[in-house]
Amino acid sequence: MAITKYLLPTIALAGSAIGQCSNSATLTITKSADASQIGSCTTYSGSVAIPTDVSDAQDSSGHNGLSIQGVEKIVGNVTVDSAINLASLSFPDLQEVSGLQLGGLTVLSELSLPQIQSIDRINLTALPALQQFSFGNTGVTQSQSILITNTGLTTLKGLDKLDTINSFNVNNNPGLQNVSLGISSIKNAIRIEANNGDQNGTDASFPQLESAMNMTFRNCSSVSLPALTNVSQYLGFYGNSFESFAAPNLSTTGGLVFVENAALSNISIPGLTTINASFQIANNTNLKKIDGIQKLSVVTASFDLSGNFSELDLPNLSQVRGAFNLQTSAEFDCKPFDDARKTKIKGKYQCAGQQSKPGGQGTKPSSTGSGAKPTGAAGFNAVNLPALVGGTSFIAGLLQMAL
């Protein structure tokens, strides 16, 4: 949908030298006269709010533009909520602000902070006309949390210089084709979900990211994490359209999840040795072979694989501390796992091939499928399981089990 650009009269909010530069209450700006406390301040110790009833400088369509000049630092927040006639917002001199929260601005098409370097918290919500923002020559280099949802943004240029951040959540932005950040660590969570709605999803790229706590990717056309070494909690992929995923340097993660990625045919995480929570692969239609996680040794919680794969190659798997569920619609020989379960699997065990409706943890396989052997709990000691392979063949390395 084309976005109409408005030529707007602008409220220039610059104050006099006698304006106060601190305020324990929030300064509310509805017209130019309200800015006398902020325009003359290099640093303003307080918060600023622009409410629904901006009253000055309307164009023929009733749209407003605000330019708040002079102030370089706002110690508090800038909040603009449901100002439905505000089409342009500018802070020409602002370099630092604690929080920028814009929501429900249905005609806002211009957001300009040309000198900005630091915004601790960015919250952009329900801005359908905003296709891009101007965040200065270098862009924002420091931020703690970012939420961008239900906007018209087609680019995140201006945020690509961030180094570290606590949380980054970008979702439901139908025009956003690419998310690429140079951050090296995420202290809390990354969520990239349901963007670029008219296509196959967003390309997500974090070329320098080495560590994160939680990472969720949904409806992405590609995910690139070449430098990632550790995810302390969960790494999850849901409903994406990419054909392959690779994390060449990832060695440990919390939970690892691949669910309903219909085009996925290859998973390559060659250095992964430990999953410190659940391991789940489910309903990935095109994933016939799981052979790219060959160094995996320990899964500390449940092992839950279901789909239509016929081959599973985990030559170094030695310990599953939770329940074990494997169900596939393909012919699959469960004997290697059956033989190992009494000493290797702590939780409930079930393994079955040729299932009409292979299910995940908590579902019971039919008794007619090949290798359908749901059983109770079993103890688990260290073991070497060379090449656990489905179909009609498996390697007899089970004889090498360490007792």
pTM, whole model, 2 decimals?
A: 0.85
Higher pLDDT, 279 or 136: 279
Radius of gyration of the chain (CA): 27
User: Does the pLDDT at position 33 exceed 80?
Assistant: no
CA atoms within 13 A on the CB side of 158: 21
pLDDT value at position 57?
Answer: 57
- With a cut of 60, say whether residue 86 has pLDDT above it: yes
In this structure, are residues 276 and 256 in contact, taking their beta carbons and an 8 Å threshold?
A: no
Q: Return the H-helix or E-strand segment holding 344.
A: helix 335-344
**What span, in angstroms and rounded, lies between the C-alpha atoms of 151 and 139?**
19
Which whole-number Å values give the CA distances from 380 to 72, 321, 344, 348, 360, in the listed order?
Answer: 62, 7, 3, 11, 21
Specify the pLDDT at position 12: 41
| Tokens linked to 153 | 């943004």
pLDDT at 390 (0 to 100): 40
Mean pLDDT lowest among 78-82, 303-307, 335-339, 377-381: 377-381
Ordered DSSP codes for 223-261 = EE-TT--EEEEEEEEES---SEEE-TT--EEEEEEEES-
What lies within 8 Å, CB to CB, of 334 at 6+ separation is 326, 351, 352, 353, 370, 371, 373
Here the tokens at position 75 are 């110690």
Q: Which residue from 295, 352, 348 is spatially nearest to 322, judged by alpha carbons?
A: 348
pLDDT of 319 reads 94
Burial class (CB in 10 A: 0-12, 13-18, 19+), 403: exposed
How many angstroms separate the Cα of 401 from the Cα of each of 14, 295, 348?
77, 17, 21
User: d(Cα 244, Cα 344) in Å, to the nearest integer?
Assistant: 30
The stretch 40-65 carries a mean pLDDT of 80
166, pLDDT greater than 90: yes
Average pLDDT, rounded, for the chain: 85
Q: CA nearest 118: which of 149, 156, 144, 157?
A: 144
- Residues across the chain: 403
Q: Is 92 helix (H, G, I), strand (E, B) or coil?
A: coil
DSSP class per residue in 25-73: SPEE-SSGGGGTTTTT-SEEBS-EEE-S---S---TTS-EEEEE-S--E
Tokens of 171: 């979702």
Residue 351 has φ and ψ, to the nearest 5°, of -145, 130
Rounded average pLDDT over 45-65: 77
The strand pairing partners of 68, in sequence order, are 13
Task: Give the three-class secondary structure for 289.
Answer: strand
